[in-house]
Chain A
């Protein structure tokens, strides 16, 4: 704005209309500056250079029509008031525009200078009000989040002290205790742990609201996470005499998800299910593919509890929601668990919902995106419309020499992953995102379009480059293995798309089988060491 004068951006492609509007503007205000452009793109370009007091916008332009026109302007300049000038007397369109954030919708036909001037003035005022409200709201939200994060930090200090003294006594460090005393103290510890979980949820919910929750997606085999969850909650279920079962599809694809976060969702849902299921009831965790929606894996947790009323169903994922009936029998949360679950699933582009009938139990379901091996592999394994002749799966394992690793292990393995990425041919090889880890070992896979001999050259290159990283050898041991991908014979004559699917399927199976083998070995070694 210059000298407090009004600076208007007029986006109008009809020269006659443009002149008319300009005339009306000059009639009503002496110190008005009008910048007229006739295409949306020029309007957006002008907005990025300077901010006008107001945009007068024709909806039908050579490069954009209808509602799209104001949407794009709103996207580029959300804080500039927009008044639509339309030749179309359409009240529905007008209301829709106002709902989307446009300040007014005027008809070109009956435009007087007085009318236009007044509409513009009000539009500017209204926009300023909206803006002030938004700023105030943001301030309030920031304050609340800061407050909660501060409180949760301050609560931790005394909680830590209680926790330390209780465990000190329970561990017998301050002398032996009578069994009954130890029993009472265990009840204290249980409550301390509950309080701890609540504080954690509080901080997590604050993060969600501030848009600060982050996920780190990896290639994840869901089966392992489901098993981990069930193993963890088995004692709770046994204690309540609630059955806990798993039903997994035989061939689940890998998903692209943050394993820690998914585990959080699973634990939350299964723990809830056990909590609301009476003795002799059962909880089942399933994961499967649904034909109509091949891009996602469906995970569900069903219980034989008392179900959820239709009203509650709509509110259950909201923050601080607690079922009134649940309060007396087991109030051990803040009502933030499902709210956090929903946010985690949303961050993965998945959906979460509940189906239930009173007295019939409930099923909580959520979806996670499949790690689409075929889609990602296609560009590197196809050459001149044919499948390349051979593929090798290269596996790089980084095992820290001391476990848990010291210092910034994440920085170390990320640096290694970058090196591996630099060692491959972008048009022939694909480095998969890091696998979910069990323990501290980081595993990277490369699908390379080569035979064993050529893949050997690549593994040598990776080895050489990793060896050049200073101090890496003092931090971890590196193993690199290469295994040929064996394709089924009958696939040779199939359509290209199917061939790609087949390679992707083989690779997935090899990875999953390798992980299971490793887990079994780990399980065996802990068994024998016991």
Chain B
């Protein structure tokens, strides 16, 4: 079975690098984008099964990206998990209303995040957790 592809959108290259490693270790293929415009372009090109999206992005912030994704037929069904440092009290509801599947505030608990990714990808895409040395 091919690995599900995740598009990771964040403007912090260091965080992208770390999260990419973690996602790969969990048996996902990873594509990345570092601004709002690139996020849409990459989503159209890569057709990810799921998108992890930061809110504070250059060239179109996370809400703009959410809005655009909703309006592109081929992408409107792709689950988006928002991962942002912003205050959930002010942003969570807005993100969920704008079509996000879940909201995590940075720093997020890794297990919870991986669990929600797994659940959001739906049944049939269950991944085996990578066996890494303990």
Give A132-153 as 1s and 0s: 1 = Cβ < 8 Å from B's Cβ atoms: 0000000000000000010001
Contact A404 B115 (CB under 8 A): yes
Determine how close the nearest CB of chain A comes to the CB of B1; give it in whole angstroms: 20
**Which of B18-26, B27-35, B37-45, B63-71 lies at the interface?**
B18-26
Instruction: Report if A207-B106 is in contact (Cβ < 8 Å); known contacts: A160-B15, A173-B25.
Output: no
Interface assignment of B93: CB less than 8 Å from any CB of chain A: yes
Interface residues of B in 81-114 (CB under 8 A from A): 85-87, 89, 93, 96-97, 99-102, 105-108, 110
Q: Closest B residue to A409 by CB, please name it.
A: B96
Q: Which residues from A are CB-within-8-Å of B89?
A: 207, 212, 214
A-B contact pairs, 28 of them (CB 8 A): A153-B87, A157-B12, A159-B107, A160-B107, A161-B14, A163-B107, A164-B15, A165-B14, A165-B18, A167-B22, A168-B18, A168-B22, A171-B25, A172-B132, A172-B133, A176-B134, A192-B107, A203-B87, A207-B89, A212-B89, A402-B120, A402-B122, A403-B119, A404-B119, A406-B119, A408-B93, A408-B96, A408-B97
Interface residues in A21-35 (C-beta closer than 8 Å to B): none
B132 to chain A, nearest CB (A): 4
0/1 string, A162-201, CB within 8 A of B gives 1: 0111011001111110000000000000001000100000
Cα–Cα, bound, A361→B87 (Å): 38
Residue of A164, A175, A207, A403 most packed against chain B (CB within 10 A): A164
Query: Once the chains bind, are A156 and B107 in contact (CB under 8 Å)?
Result: yes
Question: In the complex, what residues of A have CB within 8 A of residue B14's CB?
Answer: 161, 165
B116 at the interface (CB under 8 A from A): yes
Q: Report the minimum CB–CB distance from B99 to chain A (whole Å).
A: 8
B119–A164 CB distance below 8 A: no
Residues A406 and B107 in contact, CB atoms below 8 Å apart: no
Q: Which residue of A is nearest B131, CB measured?
A: A172
Which residues of chain A have C-beta atoms less than 8 A from B86's C-beta? 153
Measured CA separation A408–B125 after assembly (Å): 23
Chain A facing B: main interface SS = helix
The docked-state distance in angstroms from the alpha carbon of A223 to that of B86 is: 34
- On chain B, the number of residues with a Cβ less than 8 Å from chain A's Cβ atoms is 33
**Shortest Cβ distance from residue B63 to the other chain A in the assembled complex, whole angstroms:** 15
With A171-B25, A406-B120 given, name 10 new contacts (CB 8 A). Answer: A153-B87, A156-B85, A159-B106, A161-B14, A164-B15, A164-B18, A167-B22, A203-B87, A407-B96, A408-B96
Evaluate contact between A173 and B85: CB separation under 8 angstroms: no
CB of B107 within 8 A of CB of A196, answer yes
- Does A406 lie within 8 Å of B115, measured CB to CB? no
A411 to chain B, nearest CB (A): 8
A154–B89 Cα distance when bound, in Å, is 17
What's the minimum C-beta distance from B17 to chain A, rounded to whole angstroms?
9
0/1 per residue, B36-57, Cβ < 8 Å to A? 0000000000000000000000
Nearest A residue (CB) for B116: A404
**How far apart are the CA atoms of A175 and B97 in the complex, in Å?**
40
| Chain A CB within 10 A, most for which of B85, B107, B115, B133 | B107
Nearest-neighbour CB distance to chain A for B120, whole angstroms, equals 6
* Chain A residues within an 8 Å CB radius of B12: 157, 160-161
